[in-house]
C-alpha cells in the first residue's frame, strides 16, 4: 500500500464504550500516535499569535483559482483560517454580499440577527459583515454590550420574531467555527426557519460569493465600520433575557430546583460564558460556573488527543478540566465555543455522546405527554443504533438522515420530530407543549436536561444508560479516519451500493447497503452497510482531506474490529 492511498495509517478518534480507553490495532488501521500533550494544558508554542492572525485576516487575499481558497459551505457553513487564506476578509465580504443578494431575491426584509463566538477571528469578521449589511440597509440586531451570542440563541430569536408573521421575516448569521481550533473562523447563514441553511441555499450563496471573489469584490458596497455602527439600521438587542426566561418552556426547571442538585458547568470560554450565571440566578439553581475566562488563544483548554486545541465537549482529553472536579457536583456539563454541542460529566466520568443521545430519547418520549403521538426520533446515519432500539421500544418512528443538522430543520419546525441528535454531541428537541424551540443545535438544553433526568429519577444519565444496555444490549462504537485526495473524496461521496459485492459483513448477513438515507432519501455522500448486530458507514470529510469510517457492533470489540477491517478493504478497493 502506497502513501496517499486511503487505509494507510487510519487514526482512531472516538470510542463509544469508554472514550478514555485507547485501543490499538494491527495494520492497516493502526491508530495515529497519541500526542504526549493530550489532556494537558498547551505549551506557549502551541498558542496562536492573535495579533498576527487578525493581521492575516485583513491583509491576506485568497486566490479563487486555488480550490482550497474559495468559499466552501460544508455541513455547517464556511470555515477556515486566515493563515491559510481560507478565512479572510475577502471571504466574509463576498459571503455577506451574497447573503444580501439572496435576501433580496427571496424577499426577506425583516431584521437579521447577528451573533459571534469567542474565536479570535469572529469579531473582525462581524465588523466586516456589518459594513456590507449596513451598506445594503439591512436591519441588523447586534448583541447588547457587544456580548457573544450562542448559535441556539440566534435560532430562538429568529423563531420568536417570526412567530405569527407571514412577511417581513427575520433571518440570521452566526460567526463561529464551532469547536474548531483557535486559528479558525466560521460563517453560517440561518434563513427564516431559524436553522442551518439547506444545500440549495448554501450552493446559491457559495456560487455567488465565489463569483464575487473572482471579480475582485467588484460591486460589493461597504461603509466604514464606525458609520455602520451609527447607522439607523443597526440596533442593539438583548439576546440573553428572552432565551433564559423561556427555558422553563423546554426544561423542567422547577423540578431541577426542587431536587436541590449541585450542578457545575464549564462554558469552555465560549459564547455562553455570560449566560450560565444568569440562568442560575433566574431559575434559582445551585449551579457553579467553573470558569468565566475568555481568551482567544484558549490557553486554559487541555489539548485534544492529536495535539490540537479544540473546544470539544465530547472529547475526554479536552474535558479534563471539568472531569477533574466532577466529584464536586451531582452532575456537570460543558458546551463548545458557540454552545451548540454538549458534554455530560457524571460520577462515572464523561458520558460518550451516543450514549447520552439514547438516554435523552428514552427520557423525553416517556415524560413529554403533550408531544404528538406521531412525533418521531431523528438521528444521523452515523449515530448509534442504540437509538434505533430505544425508539422501537417506545413505539416511535425513526427518521434517519445524512450527516448535517440542516436535515432536521423542517421536522423540528413543524413538530414532526420530537428529538434530533447527531453522534458529535449536537441535539435539539421540542418545547414541553410539542412546539418548536430551536431549529439549530442547542447545547444548553441537553445539558440542563441531564439535571432534569437526575432530578426526576434519582439516577444520573450514566446510570440510565446502563439500564438501557441491560435491556437492549451494549454496543461498542468507533470512528477512524485516513488521508484522502480531493479526487478520492469525490469518488467516495458518489460510491454506490454496487461497490459492496459481499453478502456478509464480519460473519453476518448484510441486510442493507445504503447510499441514501432512509429517512429522507437524501444522498449520504458515501455508503452505509448494516447487519443485524453491526454496521459501518464511510464518507469523506466536508472540510479536510480525509475520509472517515464509522462502525458499531452489539457483539463486542473483536466483532467491531472485523467490521472495520472489512470496511477498510471495501473503501480501499473502491478508491484505488
Q: What is the pLDDT of residue 487?
A: 87
Tallying the residues shown for the chain, one arrives at 576
Strands (E), 455-522: 476-483, 504-505, 508-509, 512-516
**Cα–Cα distance, 361 to 389 (Å, whole number):** 11
Check residue 108 and give its pLDDT: 95
% of the chain surpassing 70 pLDDT:
94
Phi/psi at 137 (5° precision): 70, 25
Answer yes or no: are the C-beta atoms of 242 and 234 closer than 8 Å: no
Burial of 130 (0-12, 13-18, 19+ CB in 10 A): buried
3-class state of residue 480 by DSSP: strand
Residues labelled as active-site residues:
178
pLDDT at 543: 64
Supply the pLDDT for residue 486. Answer: 85
pLDDT at 1: 30
How many other CB atoms are found less than 10 A from the CB of residue 61? 14
**pLDDT, position 556:** 97
Q: Strand 417-422 vs strand 398-401: parallel, antiparallel, or unpaired? A: unpaired
**Joined grid coordinates for residue 63:** 486566490
Identify whether 28 is preceded by a cis peptide bond (ω within 30 of 0).
yes
Residue 19: what pLDDT? 31
- Domains for the chain: give ranges and CATH numbers: 11-17+475-575 (3.30.310.50), 52-242 (3.40.120.10), 246-472 (3.40.120.10)
Helix residue ranges, H only, 111-266 = 122-135, 151-162, 199-214, 225-230, 240-245, 253-259
DSSP readout, 88-108? -HHHHHHHHHHHHHHHHHHT-
Cα Dmax for the chain? 68
- Taking only the tens place, the pLDDT of each residue in 415-424 is 999 999 999 9
What pLDDT is stored for residue 9 in this prediction?
Answer: 42
Specify the pLDDT at position 12.
42
Enumerate residue ranges in the chain where pLDDT < 50.
1-31
At a CB cut-off of 8 Å and minimum separation 6, what does 491 contact?
A: 574, 575
Supply the pTM of this predicted model.
Answer: 0.93
Q: What confidence score (pLDDT) does residue 32 get? A: 54
Q: What span, in angstroms and rounded, lies between the C-alpha atoms of 491 and 539?
A: 10
Amino acid at each position: 500500500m502506497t502513501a496517499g492511498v486511503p487505509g494507510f495509517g487510519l487514526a482512531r478518534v472516538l470510542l463509544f464504550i469508554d472514550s478514555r480507553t485507547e485501543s490499538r490495532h494491527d495494520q492497516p488501521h493502526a491508530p495515529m500516535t497519541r500526542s504526549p500533550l493530550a489532556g494537558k494544558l498547551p505549551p506557549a508554542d502551541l498558542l496562536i499569535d492573535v495579533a498576527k492572525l487578525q493581521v492575516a485576516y485583513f491583509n491576506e487575499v485568497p486566490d479563487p483559482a486555488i480550490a482550497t481558497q474559495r468559499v466552501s459551505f460544508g455541513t455547517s457553513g464556511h470555515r477556515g483560517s486566515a493563515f491559510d487564506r481560507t478565512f479572510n476578509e475577502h471571504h466574509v465580504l463576498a459571503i455577506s454580499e451574497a447573503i444580501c443578494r439572496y435576501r433580496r431575491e427571496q424577499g426577506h426584509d425583516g431584521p437579521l440577527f447577528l451573533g459571534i463566538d469567542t474565536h479570535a477571528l469572529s469579531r473582525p469578521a462581524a465588523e466586516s459583515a456589518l459594513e456590507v449589511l449596513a451598506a445594503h440597509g439591512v436591519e441588523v440586531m447586534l448583541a447588547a454590550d457587544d456580548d457573544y451570542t450562542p448559535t441556539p440563541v440566534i435560532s430562538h430569536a429568529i423563531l420568536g420574531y417570526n412567530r405569527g408573521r407571514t412577511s417581513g421575516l427575520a433571518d440570521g448569521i452566526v460567526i463561529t467555527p464551532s469547536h474548531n481550533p483557535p486559528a479558525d473562523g466560521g460563517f453560517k447563514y440561518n434563513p427564516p426557519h431559524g436553522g442551518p441553511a439547506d444545500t440549495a441555499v448554501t450552493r446559491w450563496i457559495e456560487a455567488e460569493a465565489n463569483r464575487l471573489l473572482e471579480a475582485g469584490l467588484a460591486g460589493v458596497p461597504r461603509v466604514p465600520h464606525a458609520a455602520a455602527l451609527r447607522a439607523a439600521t443597526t440596533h442593539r438587542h438583548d439576546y440573553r433575557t428572552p432565551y433564559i426566561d423561556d427555558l422553563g418552556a423546554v426544561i423542567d426547571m422547577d423540578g431541577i430546583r426542587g431536587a436541590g442538585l449541585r450542578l457545575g458547568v464549564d462554558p469552555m470560554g465560549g459564547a455562553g460564558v455570560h449566560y450560565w450565571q444568569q440562568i442560575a440566578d433566574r431559575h434559582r439553581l445551585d449551579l457553579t460556573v467553573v470558569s468565566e475566562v475568555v481568551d482567544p488563544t484558549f490557553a486554559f483548554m487541555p489539548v485534544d488527543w492529536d495535539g490540537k486545541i479544540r473546544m470539544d465537549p465530547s472529547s475526554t482529553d479536552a474535558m479534563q478540566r471539568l472531569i477533574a472536579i466532577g466529584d464536586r457536583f451531582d452532575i456537570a456539563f460543558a458546551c463548545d465555543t458557540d454552545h451548540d454541542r454538549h458534554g455530560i460529566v457524571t460520577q462515572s466520568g464523561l458520558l460518550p455522546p451516543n450514549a447520552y443521545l439514547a438516554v435523552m430519547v428514552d427520557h423525553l418520549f416517556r415524560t413529554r405527554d403533550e408531544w404528538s403521538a406521531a412525533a418521531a426520533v431523528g438521528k444521523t446515519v452515523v449515530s448509534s443504533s442504540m437509538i434505533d432500539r430505544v425508539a422501537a421500544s417506545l413505539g416511535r418512528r425513526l427518521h434517519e438522515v445524512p450527516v448535517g443538522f440542516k436535515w432536521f430543520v423542517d421536522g423540528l419546525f413543524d413538530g414532526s420530530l420530537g428529538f434530533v441528535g447527531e453522534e458529535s454531541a449536537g441535539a435539539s428537541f421540542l418545547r414541553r407543549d410539542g412546539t418548536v424551540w430551536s431549529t439549530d443545535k442547542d447545547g444548553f438544553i441537553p445539558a440542563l436536561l441531564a439535571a432534569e433526568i437526575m432530578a426526576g429519577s434519582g439516577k444520573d444519565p450514566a446510570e440510565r444508560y446502563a439500564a438501557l444496555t441491560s435491556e437492549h444490549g451494549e454496543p461498542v462504537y468507533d470512528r477512524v479516519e485516513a488521508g484522502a485526495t480531493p479526487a478520492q473524496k469525490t469518488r467516495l461521496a458518489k460510491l454506490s451500493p454496487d461497490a459492496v459485492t459481499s453478502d456478509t459483513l464480519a460473519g453476518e448477513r448484510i441486510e442493507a447497503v445504503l447510499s441514501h438515507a432512509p429517512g429522507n432519501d437524501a444522498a449520504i455522500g458515501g455508503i452505509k452497510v448494516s447487519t443485524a448486530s453491526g454496521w459501518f458507514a464511510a464518507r469523506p470529510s466536508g472540510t479536510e482531506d480525509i475520509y472517515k469510517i464509522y462502525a458499531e457492533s452489539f457483539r463486542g470489540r473483536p466483532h467491531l474490529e472485523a467490521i472495520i477491517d472489512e470496511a477498510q478493504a471495501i473503501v480501499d478497493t473502491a478508491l484505488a
